[in-house]
Amino acid sequence: MEINLPDGSAKELEKGSNGLDLAKSIGAGLAKSAVAVVVNGEQRDLLDELPDKSSVSIITIQSDEGLEIMRHTLTAQVLAKAIKNLYSDSRLAIGPTIENGFYYDVSTETPISVEDLPKIENEMKRILENKSNIVKSLHSEKDAKKMFKQKGETLKIEIIDDAEQTDNFQIYTNSDEDFIDLCRGPHLPNLSFIGAFKLTKVSGAYWKGDSTNEMLTRIYGTAWRNEKELQEHLKSIEEAEKRDHRKIGKDMDLFHFQDEAPGMVFWHPKGWTIYSTLKSYMSDMQKKADYKEINTPSVIDRKLWEKSGHWDKYRENMFITEIDEEHANEKRVNALKPMNCPGHVQVYNQGIRSYKELPFRLCEFGSCHRYEASGTMHGLMRVRGFTQDDGHIFLTEDQIESETAIFIDLLSKVYADLGFNEFEIKLSTRPEQRVGSDEIWDKAELSLKNAIEKLGLEYRIDEGDGAFYGPKLDFVLTDAIGRKWQCGTLQLDFNLADRLDAQYVAEDGNKYNPVMFHRAILGSFERFIGILIENYSGNLPLWLAPTQVTVCSITDEADDYVKEISETLRSKNIRCNSDLRNEKISYKVREHSVSKVPIIIAVGKKEVSERTVSVRRLGSDDTSILSLDDFTTSVVQESLAPNK
Q: Spell out the domain ranges in the chain.
A: 2-60, 65-233, 256-535, 549-638
Classify domain 549-638 at the CATH superfamily level.
Answer: Anticodon-binding domain (3.40.50.800)
Sequence-distant (≥ 6) Cβ neighbours of residue 28 within 8 angstroms: none
Q: Give the C-alpha distances (Å, rounded to integers) separating 398 from 355, 446, 582, 636.
A: 12, 13, 68, 45
**Catalytic hit among 71, 91, 341, 369:** 341
Annotated active-site residue 344? The verdict is: no
Interatomic CA distance for residues 525 and 380, integer angstroms: 9
The segments of the chain whose pLDDT lies below 50 read none
CA angle 506, 510, 513 (to 5 degrees): 70
The sign one gets for the Cα dihedral 614, 620, 621, 624 is: negative
**Catalytic hit among 390, 474, 493, 579:** 390
Interatomic CA distance for residues 436 and 494, integer angstroms: 8
CATH architecture of 2-60: Roll (3.10)
Note the pLDDT of residue 326.
61
Interatomic CA distance for residues 579 and 593, integer angstroms: 13
Sequence-distant (≥ 6) Cβ neighbours of residue 30 within 8 angstroms: 23, 24, 58, 60
Interatomic CA distance for residues 367 and 249, integer angstroms: 22
Annotated active-site residue 576? The verdict is: no
Distance of CA 516 to the CA centre of its chain: 25
Annotated active-site residue 370? The verdict is: yes
* Helix, coil or strand: residue 121: helix
Q: Give the C-alpha distances (Å, rounded to integers) separating 151 from 84, 139, 468.
A: 11, 16, 44
Annotated active-site residue 472? The verdict is: yes
Interatomic CA distance for residues 318 and 335, integer angstroms: 6
**Catalytic hit among 243, 361, 472, 616:** 472
The sign one gets for the Cα dihedral 560, 565, 570, 575 is: negative
In SS3 terms, 397-425 reads as HHHHHHHHHHHHHHHHHHHHHCCCCCEEE
Q: Of 461, 402, 468, which is closest to residue 441 (Cα–Cα)? A: 468
**Catalytic hit among 156, 270, 518, 588:** 518
**Catalytic hit among 370, 384, 575, 596:** 370
**Catalytic hit among 198, 270, 392, 519:** 392
Note the pLDDT of residue 311.
87
Classify domain 65-233 at the CATH superfamily level.
Answer: Threonyl-trna Synthetase; Chain A, domain 2 (3.30.980.10)
Note the pLDDT of residue 272.
98
Interatomic CA distance for residues 106 and 79, integer angstroms: 11
Backbone angles phi, psi at 580, to 5 degrees: -105, 15
**Catalytic hit among 286, 388, 399, 548:** 388
Note the pLDDT of residue 331.
77
Q: Give the C-alpha distances (Å, rounded to integers) separating 570 from 365, 564, 635.
A: 28, 10, 11
CATH architecture of 256-535: 2-Layer Sandwich (3.30)
Annotated active-site residue 243? The verdict is: no
Q: Of 555, 532, 530, 542, which is closest to residue 619 (Cα–Cα)? A: 542
CB atoms under 10 Å from CB of 344, counted, come to 26
